[in-house]
């Protein structure tokens, strides 16, 4: 992949380039919001790879559904040289069982896929911990959860 020489651009030009980039990705239906593109890109990849239908608008607890009606929460993390954490975004309302499976996608710094995991709801409950501060469950994709036979690397 071609690397671009960005050091010669000023801050305003870089921010305009980012704005144009985000708009083009939205026009191509790769992203759906104006937020950090990592989550939207993960939803895009997972929906295409697994044949899931993304839900429109905001759905409490899940992002996509399959042909059988199973609900999927999609979480992602981009590993960078500045942050190698494998902690996914906060998972809310586990008590309501808002999804059947969590799909976790880990990106490398350049947005190439490092790993994708399909994790049943019961496994999330087993390995996540509740954070009162964040008002939700925290899941880190390392250690015992990755050894659980119910977790599939896809």
**32 falls within a domain:** no
**20 falls within a domain:** no
Cβ of 74: how many Cβ atoms within 10 Å? Answer: 27
Question: Please, which residues bridge with residue 73 across strands?
Answer: 102
The whole-model pTM stands at 0.89
Can you give the pLDDT at residue 3? Answer: 72
**What does the DSSP 8-state code read for residue 132?**
T
SS3 for 129? Answer: strand
Can you give the pLDDT at residue 5? Answer: 86
In the numeric block, which tokens belong to residue 23? Answer: 């708009």
Question: What is the count of structural domains for the chain?
Answer: 1
**10 falls within a domain:** no
Q: In what order do the strands lie in the sheet with 53-54?
A: 53-54, 64-65, 71-78, 101-107, 113-120, 152-153
* Nearest-angstrom CA–CA distance, 139 and 151: 13
**76 falls within a domain:** yes
Q: Residue 44: enclosing H or E segment and its boundaries?
A: helix 37-50
Can you give the pLDDT at residue 2? Answer: 67
**88 falls within a domain:** yes
**17 falls within a domain:** no
Dihedrals φ, ψ of 54, to 5°?
A: -70, 140
pLDDT along the chain (154 residues), means of 10: 81 91 93 89 96 86 96 96 95 96 96 97 97 96 97 97
Can you give the pLDDT at residue 122? Answer: 97
**70 falls within a domain:** yes
- For the domain that residue 54 is a member of, what is the CATH number? 3.40.1350
SS3 for 54? Answer: strand
Q: Which domain holds residue 89?
A: 37-153
**110 falls within a domain:** yes
């Amino acid at each position: 992949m071609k690397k671009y020489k960005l050091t010669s651009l000023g801050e305003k030009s870089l921010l305009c380039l980012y704005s144009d980039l985000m708009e083009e990705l939205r026009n191509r239906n790769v992203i759906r919001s104006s937020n950090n593109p990592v989550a939207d890109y993960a939803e895009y990849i997972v929906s295409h790879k697994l044949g899931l239908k993304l839900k429109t608008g905001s759905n409490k607890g899940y992002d996509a559904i399959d042909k059988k009606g199973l609900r999927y929460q999609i979480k992602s993390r981009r590993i960078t040289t500045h942050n190698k954490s494998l902690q996914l975004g906060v998972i809310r309302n586990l008590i309501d069982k808002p999804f059947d499976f969590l799909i976790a996608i880990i990106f490398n710094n350049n947005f190439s896929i490092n790993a994708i995991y399909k994790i049943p709801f019961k496994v999330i409950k087993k390995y996540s911990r509740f954070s009162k501060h964040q008002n939700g469950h925290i899941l880190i994709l390392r250690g015992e959860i990755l050894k659980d036979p119910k977790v599939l690397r896809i």
